[in-house]
Amino acid sequence: MSLIAELKRRNVFRVGVAYAIVAWLLVEVASVILPTFKTPDWVMQAFTTLVILGFPLALIVAWAFEMTPEGIKRETAVDPAESITHATGRKLDFAIIGLLVIAVVYFAADKFVLEQAEVTAESVAREKSIAVLPFENLSQDATNEPFTMGIHDDILTQISKISALKVISRTSVMEYRNTTKNLKTIGQELGAATILEGGVQRAGDRVRINVQLIDAATDEHLWADTYDRKLTAANIFAIQTEIATAIADALRATLSTEEQELLDTVPTENMAALEAYFRGKLRMAKRNSAALAEAVDDFNRAIEFDPGFALAYVGLADSYQLQVEYSGLPLDEMIEKAQTATDKALALDDRLAEAYTSLAGIKQARNDLEGAETTYLRALELNPNYATAYHWYSSLLSGASGRRDEALELSKKAAELDPRSPIILQGVGNSYDSVGRFDEGLAWFHKSIEIDPDFSGGYLWIAGHYWQVKGRLDEAVRWFRKGVSVDPGNLGFAFLGWVFLDLGDLDRAEYWIERSTELAPEGFYPNLATELLHLYRGDLPAALEYGRRAFGTEDPWAFQYHSFEPVRIHEMRAGRYLEARAAFEKIAPELLNEDSPEIGTRNYRVAIDLALILSKTGEQQRADRLLGDSLQYIQRIPRLGDGGYGVADVQIYALQGEKQKALSTLQRAIDEGCCESWWYYLKFDPTLEPLHDEPEFQAMVIEIEADMAAQLARVREMERNGELEPIPEVSATTQ
């Protein structure tokens, strides 16, 4: 008998066809089900590989075995006269037909029903998305430009209150001011199905606003109108409400009763207050130290013109909060001012999503994490299109709360609503960094400065990437210089000095750190950098003084820098462990007062230090538990980056007495690029003292010192060649 005939007789072909159909169905179903459970990509890849490997195995089984009335037997053990392969083949034929019917039905449903449903859902979603392009100033007077921009901004704000619409934020649409791109391209770039265009003409005591709503894909006009009214604040807001309502009708978006009430609210009837508010918002959006100071003046002026203008208080509160980050002004003082302004805004209007976002930021700054989260959720309930709320909420979850995956989704939602905002794109980059996806994070940082070359934050985070991820401090210097050159009033000077400490150049470190303290004498980062400067010099009393200043500010991000907390450095290094234990009772009481304290982002570094103290005070069992729980936690987060754990695992192994494991892990950390504050950890850190006498440890110190010397030489070469950005002088009094 020929081989082909024998394969047919043993039903090998039929088994192969049946297996192929079943395998296809399994893979198709798995591709739908597995993502529902958020399984990693490798699960689907492994499943598909197993299915493919099973095919030849099925053919071998079909060849070697046969189904008989007594069960499955080896083919060689079956008498040809008693073989029932023909009957089995008939059953397989029916099975194949049945499987083919199932496969065809599934294919048809997937192709023509489910896919069409997805397309329809996507079409509906896109249909209810809108981008409000910058309005054209139709007045002959160019000084009316801020007024026109303010009208545009407020109309966009009104429309964003409609939850059924996806509204692209202001900072994203501003890129299309005076653009020559067609509407279809703009719609595609912004992810918006419809575009609102308009113009504003102001003459004497009259204002004319014309608007038109256009389908971005077809260029079809969906609605248009012209509003010609007497120039009063009440009329301006009435026009904005009419436009928002008309757009909702045109896009078939149903307004809730609360949304209609929000649209009907008149924030102010004072034109001078409204124009001052418009100017303040434009300046606050720039996110640099000088503009924020001017924004504070604008919002205060708006409040002088109309003390009942709630949104002006919100703008004032946000400007105060942002000055802590961008200008290094004292946190306690600025947060207190922001609280006063926010309280006033909410007293005037307790339905302002913007005010709740400001309040959440204040709670976050005061480390009331639960209260901050509840307040962010209230803001998003009132305005699900407010990109800033998603952006700030993301920073809460990514930082102190340690919910990094959730934070990434929130930051991406913010970018979906405001895809051209530099600060929001930077936020997406931060979120990618926090989950260890550093290359993706870097790409978002670059996007932020592509959109706005004067956005200092993008440059500073790129610098941080080279410093904290790549171990390329020479490149970090280059990018920090670019950042402070576009905004010489920000705190990049403190980080620039810190990098020079790591490079071993004490003179340059001192120069840049002193510049940061001139700008912000009470700021957290200038004082922290000054503490490190004195530690590097070996001046422990001075380091203690500046460390107390830094950590006395209760900066919300201070927990990330606990390694430099003065108590840790001075009490522990002096061997005063009982005094240190008493101090840690105040820093992290839960670690001492709870039997099984939860270890997380905010306290794992404290737990490692406390373990050393407890081991010295005879509480070894509790120390071991803290070390084990801390090690388990850090294995869930990346080593590198701004929120990375650095050499925390090395510290744990050293305290556990596993010297060889600590040394090999330290070498791996260095090889990966972990060199931020290396000199402190390798020379001052009390948790690593058990390693100091080991030859391997000493060799690693020599290795990293040589690397830093080589990188410093490259920095000096860049300075000689004029490759670094010049930085203008600026003083605190001129901010």
pLDDT of residue 246: 84
Cα dihedral across residues 365, 371, 377, 381: positive or negative: negative
Q: What are phi and psi of 68, to 5 degrees?
A: -130, 165
Q: Is residue 320 part of a domain?
A: no
- Above 70 in pLDDT, residue 683? yes
Lowest mean pLDDT among 32-46, 237-251, 543-557, 623-637: 32-46
Lowest mean pLDDT among 515-519, 529-533, 631-635: 515-519
pLDDT of residue 734: 36
Banded pLDDT at 5 (limits 50, 70, 90): confident
Dmax of the chain from CA atoms?
109
Q: Is residue 223 part of a domain?
A: yes
- The CA distance from 568 to 585, in Å, is 13
Cα dihedral across residues 467, 469, 471, 475: positive or negative: negative
Tokens of 719: 């300075």
Mean pLDDT calculated for residue range 482-510: 91
Question: Over the stretch 128-146, which tens digit does the pLDDT of each residue have?
Answer: 788 888 888 887 677 677 7
In order, the DSSP letters of 571-589 are: HHHTT-HHHHHHHHHHH-T
pLDDT of residue 172: 73
Q: Is residue 214 part of a domain?
A: yes
- The CA distance from 245 to 253, in Å, is 9
- The CA distance from 500 to 508, in Å, is 6
In order, the DSSP letters of 441-466 are: HHHHHHHHHHH-TT-HHHHHHHHHHI
Residue 461: CB partners within 8 Å, gap ≥ 6? 426, 429, 430, 445, 448
- Above 90 in pLDDT, residue 466? yes
> Do 106 and 209 reside in the same domain of the chain?
no
Helix H or strand E segment including 503: helix 492-503
Q: Is residue 174 part of a domain?
A: yes
Q: What are phi and psi of 544, to 5 degrees?
A: -60, -45
| Host domain of residue 64 | 3-123
pLDDT of residue 57: 81
Q: Is residue 713 part of a domain?
A: no
Banded pLDDT at 637 (limits 50, 70, 90): very high
pTM (two decimals): 0.70
Structural domains of the chain, count: 3
| Percentage of residues in the chain having pLDDT higher than 90 | 39
Q: Are 131 and 192 in contact (CB under 8 A)?
A: yes
Helix H or strand E segment including 32: helix 12-36
Total Cβ atoms within 10 A of residue 595: 6
In order, the DSSP letters of 316-347 are: HHHHHHHHHHHH---HHHHHHHHHHHHHHHHH
Mean pLDDT calculated for residue range 45-50: 81
> Do 114 and 194 reside in the same domain of the chain?
no
pLDDT of residue 572: 76
- The CA distance from 343 to 458, in Å, is 32
- The CA distance from 665 to 20, in Å, is 48
Banded pLDDT at 293 (limits 50, 70, 90): very high
- The CA distance from 588 to 381, in Å, is 34
- The CA distance from 517 to 496, in Å, is 13
- The CA distance from 341 to 354, in Å, is 12
Mean pLDDT calculated for residue range 598-609: 89
Q: Are 55 and 20 in contact (CB under 8 A)?
A: yes
Q: Are 516 and 526 in contact (CB under 8 A)?
A: yes
> Do 679 and 567 reside in the same domain of the chain?
yes
Q: Are 488 and 689 in contact (CB under 8 A)?
A: no
pLDDT of residue 732: 45
Lowest mean pLDDT among 164-173, 448-457, 510-519: 164-173
Which CATH number fits the domain that encloses residue 231? Answer: 3.40.50.10610
pLDDT of residue 40: 64
Q: What are phi and psi of 366, to 5 degrees?
A: -95, 10
- The CA distance from 262 to 244, in Å, is 11
Nearest to 179 by CA among 211, 139, 131: 131
Among 63, 88, 123, identify where a domain stops.
Answer: 123
pLDDT of residue 118: 43
Q: At what angle do helices 12-36 and 41-64 cross, to 10 degrees?
A: 160
pLDDT of residue 117: 41
Positions of E strands within 507-616: none
- If you ran DSSP here, which 8-state letter would residue 59 be given? H
Banded pLDDT at 7 (limits 50, 70, 90): low
pLDDT of residue 733: 36
pLDDT of residue 511: 94
Among 674, 692, 710, identify where a domain stops.
Answer: 692
pLDDT of residue 112: 55
pLDDT of residue 490: 77
- The CA distance from 478 to 501, in Å, is 15
Q: Are 369 and 398 in contact (CB under 8 A)?
A: no
> Do 16 and 142 reside in the same domain of the chain?
no
Q: What burial class does residue 252 get, using C-beta atoms within 10 Å of its C-beta: 0-12 exposed, 13-18 middle, 19+ buried?
A: exposed
Banded pLDDT at 120 (limits 50, 70, 90): very low
Nearest to 583 by CA among 618, 622, 551, 627: 551
> Do 245 and 146 reside in the same domain of the chain?
yes
Q: Are 715 and 474 in contact (CB under 8 A)?
A: yes
> Do 27 and 105 reside in the same domain of the chain?
yes
Q: Is residue 611 part of a domain?
A: yes
Lowest mean pLDDT among 221-225, 292-296, 605-609: 221-225
Instruction: Give the chain's count of helices (H) and strands (E).
Output: 35, 8
Q: At what angle do helices 604-616 and 577-587 cross, to 10 degrees?
A: 150
Lowest mean pLDDT among 92-96, 163-167, 185-189, 450-454: 92-96
Mean pLDDT calculated for residue range 352-373: 93
Q: What burial class does residue 81 get, using C-beta atoms within 10 Å of its C-beta: 0-12 exposed, 13-18 middle, 19+ buried?
A: exposed
Q: Are 497 and 465 in contact (CB under 8 A)?
A: no
pLDDT of residue 73: 61
> Amino acid identity, residue 704?
I
| Percentage of residues in the chain having pLDDT higher than 70 | 86
Question: Which residue in this structure is represented by tokens 């964003």?
Answer: 160
Among 692, 709, 729, identify where a domain stops.
Answer: 692
- Tell me the residue length of the chain: 735
In order, the DSSP letters of 129-196 are: EEEEPPPEE-SS-GGGHHHHHHHHHHHHHHHHT-TTSEE--HHHHGGGTT----HHHHHHHHT-SEEE
- The CA distance from 521 to 328, in Å, is 8
> Do 625 and 609 reside in the same domain of the chain?
yes
> Do 673 and 566 reside in the same domain of the chain?
yes
Cα dihedral across residues 608, 613, 616, 622: positive or negative: negative
Among the ranges 240-244, 673-677, 724-728, which has the highest mean pLDDT value?
Answer: 673-677
> Do 148 and 261 reside in the same domain of the chain?
yes
> Do 116 and 216 reside in the same domain of the chain?
no
Find the angle CA(697)-CA(701)-CA(707) to the nearest 5 degrees.
Answer: 140
Mean pLDDT calculated for residue range 421-447: 93
Banded pLDDT at 23 (limits 50, 70, 90): confident
Total Cβ atoms within 10 A of residue 473: 25
pLDDT of residue 18: 77
- Above 90 in pLDDT, residue 682? yes
Nearest to 563 by CA among 665, 684, 698: 684
- Above 60 in pLDDT, residue 390? yes
Positions of E strands within 377-435: none
**Collapsed DSSP state (helix, strand, coil) of residue 427:** helix
pLDDT of residue 219: 83
Question: Over the stretch 191-213, which tens digit does the pLDDT of each residue have?
Answer: 888 888 888 888 777 888 888 88
Mean pLDDT calculated for residue range 325-330: 81
Residues of 179-196 as b/e, b for ≥16 C-beta within 10 angstroms? eeeebeebbebbbbbbbb
> Do 153 and 116 reside in the same domain of the chain?
no
β-strand partners of 221:
214
β-strand partners of 225:
211
Q: Is residue 414 part of a domain?
A: no
Lowest mean pLDDT among 12-21, 369-378, 522-531, 563-572: 563-572
Banded pLDDT at 295 (limits 50, 70, 90): very high
> Do 116 and 140 reside in the same domain of the chain?
no
Q: Are 193 and 126 in contact (CB under 8 A)?
A: yes
Q: Is residue 323 part of a domain?
A: no
Banded pLDDT at 576 (limits 50, 70, 90): confident
Question: Over the stretch 264-285, which tens digit does the pLDDT of each residue have?
Answer: 777 888 888 988 998 898 888 7
Banded pLDDT at 568 (limits 50, 70, 90): low
